[in-house]
Structures are given as C-alpha cells and as structure tokens.
Amino acid sequence: MGYSQEKLAHLLGVDRTTVGRWECGRVSPQPPQRRGLANALDLGLDELDCLLATPAVRVQEAPRCQTEESPTPGDSDEMMRRAFFAC
C-alpha cells in the first residue's frame, strides 16, 4: 500500500518498532489494532486474519547480526550501536 512503518504506526496509534515486529512475524497485531490495520490495507478482518495465520515465506538470508569484525574499543560509538541494533 506504500506506507512507511512510521506512517502506518501513526495511523494505528502504535510505535514504529511494533510495526517492524509485525512485519518480521515476531508478534501479531492485537485485536484493538486489527480493525485499523485491515482498513489501512483495504482488507476485511477475515482476510487479515488469514494473512496473519499464514507463515511468511522468507528468502534465505545470512543473519544480519553477523559481521566480519566485531566492534572493538577503538571503534566509534555509532559503529558499535549499528552492530548492536542490527541484531
């Protein structure tokens, strides 16, 4: 539908990280958010429930938190933060 995580989160009254967890399949939207999510995605509630019940097919990727080199004490805080939050 072209929504960014931020825009969808704003429409539904949730945090952007919540939308990210929905996308990754770590958690499912709670009942209070489902109606708004269905409306935003132009779906019926039954259609949304079917989509949420279907396991996502994922392309095999290398884990993002594995880096060639771990941050060392000499690295900038920003580099260490990025390596930490990539997991």
Which pLDDT value is given to residue 77?
55
Question: Do residues 71 and 83 make contact, with C-beta atoms less than 8 angstroms apart?
Answer: yes
Per the domain annotation, does 21 fall within a domain?
yes
Which pLDDT value is given to residue 8?
93
Per the domain annotation, does 61 fall within a domain?
no
Quote the domain boundaries for residue 30. Answer: 5-53
What would the pLDDT profile of 11-54 be if each residue is shown by its tens digit?
999 999 999 998 888 888 998 899 999 999 999 999 998 888 86
Per the domain annotation, does 19 fall within a domain?
yes
Per the domain annotation, does 46 fall within a domain?
yes
The burial class, CB within 10 Å (0-12 / 13-18 / 19+), for 8 is: buried
Per the domain annotation, does 87 fall within a domain?
no
Per the domain annotation, does 81 fall within a domain?
no
Per the domain annotation, does 68 fall within a domain?
no
Where does the pLDDT of residue 65 fall: very low under 50, low under 70, confident under 90, or very high at 90 and above?
very low
The domain tally of the chain equals: 1
Which pLDDT value is given to residue 2?
87
Per the domain annotation, does 9 fall within a domain?
yes
pTM above 0.85, yes or no: no
